[in-house]
Structure 1
Amino acid sequence: MGQKNRGLVNTPSKVGLKKNMSLKIRKRYKISIKTFITGILIILCLLGCNSIYSASLSHDYKLPELTVAITILLTIISLKRIPIRTIKRWLQFMGVYLIANVAIMIAIVPSDRVTFYANRFIIFVPLLTLVLMGDAKKKRLFEIAFQYENIVIFYATITLFIWALVSFSSLLQPTGSMTVSWGGIINYPTYFGIFATRQVQPFLGITWIRNQGWYTEGPMFNLIILIALCVEVFLSPFESQNRNGCINGMNIKKVVILVLADISTFTITGMIVMIALFFFKYCLIKNKNNLRNFIKWMGAIIIAILGLFVAYNLFLVKFDTGSWEVRFDDYLAGFAAWKDHLIIGNGFGHMDAIENHMSFIRSYNKGFSSGLFVILAQGGLLFATVYLAAFAGYVRFSIKSGVRELFAMLLIMIILLVTTVFHYTFVMMLLLSYGFAFLMLKEC
């Protein structure tokens, strides 16, 4: 009888197996409320980063208001799991931060831009910094960054399929359109509301459609992809999940998707930054003598050579069209405007000071391409200290924790800030929030 009972205990029934499998499936696919809300916040940040929705004239989607509301909700949900000691430390640092930002608002922000400034620097950054500090206490500091990466990879995969169908066949036709204010009033053909077309790029004798996703232009989608690539290349080795099948901590499938998506934007800056990104990664590898690493990185060097070839050909096209002249003039105009008022700038949100210094040869194009020089020209060194303080957080945490990858990621961020206009977007605010969290964390 005892033997029989032992047999019944040791041999699971079919009903028991089904129950266990059901529990495992539910556990595997369980998504917490915090993860769900964070996903919504990230999508809103992506939509607010110079997308056709944030620049739409067809409809006001209230993206800043929704982003701030979701940030407040995420903070409330996270509060119960944040230690009191962490909250006290946050209050001490943020007290100084808020006083400094109120002083900056009084000095440089006109009355019609106060809400714009407050949503980003007074509400979003402090609250998200607290959430990140709470994540750090649970050993999940990079959880939001990994979620950002996964959402971008998912979206990039979709855009690659749509881009291929639109570029190489007539099977897919526009399903709608949207009127957008971006360097003028432009009507964008759209596909299911998740993909837009506007730009084409001659390359190797073929006129290609640029993959711009739901963004106003290719360089904006390139920016989003490169930030996700930074997360995978520099931060993924520190992810707690199983990293089987990875090389030097990188998931090759994810890297390939992001690289292909970035190439499809036909952005010369993206090509160059990608090469710099992988060069930094190579410099950080400790065991370069391993044969497997050698073979894999020889492949990376070949890809880099191909990337330089593509970048060179794109440069020739841009040289012929004068695009490079406009970009260079952006830096000259931005620097000249900053020199007018080095300390307090020319006023937050006002582009007139920069446009007044632009060359007469570009009267047809008043767009601007450098976020860094907008910060300096509009807010001077006073406003730039907000960004510098956050960047100092990356340096501090990199030194204290020994995570040199964070310093490499910071270098890529600065390059992107110099070459792209996303300085006031919520994606930039997310990166700044990480910097302030790094600055405040006591244990690294």
Structure 2
Amino acid sequence: MDGTWFQYALIIPMLLGILLFRGKIYVYKYFLPRLIGLSVIICLFGIVLWFLACFTALPPTSTTRLMWTSGEEIDSYFGLFYKIQPITVGGTSIWRNTSIFPEAPMAAVYYGIILSLHILVIKKKDLKSIAVLTIGLITTVSTSAYIYVCVLLFAYLSDKIGGNGLRESKLKIMVMLLTITSLVFILIQIGTNKITDSTSGMTHLDDFVQGFRIWKDAPIFGFGFESDDYIWQEYLSYYRGGLGYTSGALFLLIHGGVVALVMVIVPLLAWVVVSPSKDSTYFALFLFLILWTVVVQNCGVFILCLSLGYANYVWESKRLRSEWNAVRGNRDISSTN
């Protein structure tokens, strides 16, 4: 059985059962904060080791083989940072911060989702954790990471504006605009350079174009999740050697058609259908942004968020039903009096 079908047909229901069994209070007050706290610690160590490795010539603690691609030996720093992807920024050659992951975009996706859980789901006012995760994202030197930072900081700062005095609100608005403007400028510069000067950027554009062309030949059920060899031979081999889908949504459409994509869209909608709020809507849109721009459909923390979407739907449905029953009971009492 293909891993993707296994995850969506078995793992998500199993996670949903565990979440429902432990209950909303445990998940929101204990499990998610502990997951975020552990991630922040790992991110912090990764940042420190990245800085020391790039700017102080700190020797590696060991070497390991990068089985993700070439199998070559790479330097490891306690398994919390790896020298995998060098990049030149402003004429200076540095390493991208991959943290514990085999490539920078993976680190960006993980820490981006963790930051979104922190800001939009459990809503803790912990600026230190937000700062660590933001720095971790920035040091990946990944275009997607800068998009995540812009989107999430905008959500965080906009939420802090309401409910204050006019003067304080104006100050916060100015800070937010300056922050977002700076981040957008950096994003445009990096994105433009990546697309015009790198093979990776052009490959991503090709992925979108070719992905839609492939999908339209099997739009409903796709080609199957074990059809990579066929797709490579029939569609991809003539324009580049290899499979590297840029978009998780396109990956699902190509392999499982609209049916597979719906399996992801439903739990995202579940975040906003029962009890819509600005934060839940923003969180669902953020997850869809990640799904559209990164091959994330098999990422563990993304799968967890899908299961959490279903669980949140169940919890909110019960809460609303309980409130409705209470209101109806009060009305019945009033009518009898």
Pick the TM interval, shorter chain: 0.7 to 0.9
Tell me the residue number matched to 1:14.
none
Tell me the residue number matched to 1:263.
138
Counterpart check, 1:321 vs 2:198: yes
Counterpart check, 1:340 vs 2:217: yes
**Local SS of the residue matching 2:73:** strand
**Local SS of the residue matching 2:76:** strand
Which amino acid letter does the alignment assign opposite residue 376 of structure 1? L
Deviation, 1:437, is 1.1
Tell me the residue number matched to 2:284.
410
Tell me the residue number matched to 1:187.
73
Which amino acid letter does the alignment assign opposite residue 310 of structure 1? I
Alignment of 1:330-409 (within 5 A): 330-352=207-229, 354-355=231-232, 356-358=234-236, 360-363=238-241, 366-399=243-276, 403-409=277-283
CA distance in 2: counterparts of 1:196 and 1:410, whole angstroms: 31
Q: Which of 141, 157, 171 is the equivalent residue of 2:58?
A: 171
Q: Which of 431, 438, 441 is the equivalent residue of 2:305?
A: 431
**Local SS of the residue matching 1:427:** helix
Greater shift in the superposed pair: 298-307 or 256-265: 298-307
**Could you list the runs of 5+ residues in structure 2 that have no partner in the other structure?**
320-337
Q: Which of 185, 201, 209 is the equivalent residue of 2:87?
A: 201
Alignment of 1:208-357 (within 5 A): 208-237=94-123, 250-285=125-160, 286-287=162-163, 289-318=165-194, 319-352=196-229, 354-355=231-232, 356-357=234-235
Alignment of 1:110-189 (within 5 A): 112-113=1-2, 116-117=3-4, 119-138=6-25, 140-141=27-28, 143-182=30-69, 184-189=70-75
**Local SS of the residue matching 2:67:** strand
Q: Is the 8 A contact 2:154 2:176 kept in 1?
A: no
CA distance in 2: counterparts of 1:151 and 1:292, whole angstroms: 34
The Cα offsets for residues 236-262 of structure 1, whole Å up to 9 and x where unpaired, read as 33xxxxxxxxxxx53211111111111
Deviation, 1:135, is 4.0
**Local SS of the residue matching 2:216:** helix
Deviation, 1:339, is 0.8
Alignment of 1:47-66 (within 5 A): none
Q: Is the 8 A contact 1:398 1:407 kept in 2?
A: no
CA distance in 1: counterparts of 2:231 and 2:66, whole angstroms: 26
Tell me the residue number matched to 1:246.
none
Which amino acid letter does the alignment assign opposite residue 188 of structure 2? Y
Q: Is the 8 A contact 1:133 1:437 kept in 2?
A: yes
CA distance in 2: counterparts of 1:153 and 1:297, whole angstroms: 28
Deviation, 1:334, is 1.7
Alignment of 1:19-34 (within 5 A): none
Identity %: 21
CA distance in 2: counterparts of 1:205 and 1:170, whole angstroms: 18
Q: TM-score, normalised by structure 2?
A: 0.84
CA distance in 2: counterparts of 1:354 and 1:418, whole angstroms: 20
**Local SS of the residue matching 2:47:** helix
Tell me the residue number matched to 1:62.
none
Measured at CA, do residues 145 and 357 of structure 1 come closer, stay the same or move farther in structure 2, by a change above 3 Å?
A: farther
**Local SS of the residue matching 2:318:** coil
CA distance in 2: counterparts of 1:316 and 1:143, whole angstroms: 42
Deviation, 1:342, is 0.9
The Cα offsets for residues 138-176 of structure 1, whole Å up to 9 and x where unpaired, read as 474464332221111111000011001100012332512
CA distance in 1: counterparts of 2:15 and 2:29, whole angstroms: 13
Q: Is the 8 A contact 2:248 2:297 kept in 1?
A: yes
CA distance in 2: counterparts of 1:293 and 1:156, whole angstroms: 32
Which amino acid letter does the alignment assign opposite residue 223 of structure 2? N
CA distance in 2: counterparts of 1:443 and 1:427, whole angstroms: 25
CA distance in 2: counterparts of 1:251 and 1:272, whole angstroms: 21
